[in-house]
Amino acid sequence: MLSGMLRRVECWLGVDVGGKRKGFDAALVNDRRLLDLQRRLSCEVVVEVVDRHRPKVVAIDSPRCCAPDGEATRAGERELARTICGIRWTPDESRVRDGNAYYAWIVEGLDLYDSLASREVEVIEVFPTASWSCWYGKRGSRSRSAWSRDGLVGLGLEGVPVRTNQDQRDAIAAAVTARQYSEGLTESMGGIVVPRSPISRSQHAPYPANRPSS
């Protein structure tokens, strides 16, 4: 956990969502540094992180809502798939909550949105794969891990661990997307916030990051 001094730094929180067993990965960044990176958190602990650090924006890598009744996808997902990259579809709530294990992570994400609704913090939906794609171009034939590892280096954040997994990298991407949202550098596709343009050198942190690996 961070010291009281770091808690007062202006910061942004990114959350990667998993099912109940996997939990949440959370990354806290400021304008140049990864301040904190945690794994396998419960919904309650994520809320505690928000209460403790008071981020300007919380960016969650999970659907904020389900498709309209009787529909299998959301409009923002279709737009994002047409213009940026593929994305998993979110059907209507009756299908999401019918007990199918495939949608368990969406249920966990919806519960986190509900838990944060009473907090005085802005919460947005993001999709880190879209963020990586907007910043650095489509993945193509590269493995997702190699692509996002190189992308993480390109963000130029101080304090990044030498070793990270995909969920941690996506949580960091979510946090940086939240920061860009505050800076007016994003757009919304049906409520899904994505970067408007590639990361420029002027947007990088002023110090080199450690090169991470899987």
- 200: number of Cβ within 10 Å: 9
Q: Is residue 169 part of a domain?
A: yes
Residue 9: per-residue pLDDT: 73
Q: Is residue 154 part of a domain?
A: yes
Q: Which domain holds residue 195?
A: 4-203
Alpha helices in the chain (DSSP H): 4-7, 43-53, 75-83, 93-96, 104-116, 128-136, 144-155, 166-182
DSSP letter, residue 209: P
Query: What CATH number should be reported for the domain holding residue 124?
Result: 3.30.420.10
For 43-94, write each residue's pLDDT tens digit. Answer: 999 999 999 999 999 999 999 999 999 999 999 999 999 999 999 999 999 9
Q: Is residue 214 part of a domain?
A: no
Tell me the mean pLDDT in the region 11-39. 96
Q: Is residue 210 part of a domain?
A: no
Q: Is residue 208 part of a domain?
A: no
Rounded to whole angstroms, the Cα distance separating 46 from 117 reads: 13
Q: Is residue 69 part of a domain?
A: yes
3-state secondary structure of 141: coil
Into how many domains does the chain fold? 1
Task: Provide the pLDDT confidence category of residue 2 given band limits of 50, 70 and 90.
Answer: very low
Q: Is residue 165 part of a domain?
A: yes
Whether the pLDDT of residue 212 is over 50: the answer is no
Q: Is residue 211 part of a domain?
A: no
Bridge partner list, 188: 193
Task: Provide the pLDDT confidence category of residue 206 given band limits of 50, 70 and 90.
Answer: very low
Whether the pLDDT of residue 4 is over 80: the answer is no
For 85-132, write each residue's pLDDT tens digit. Answer: 999 999 999 999 999 999 999 999 999 999 999 999 999 999 999 999
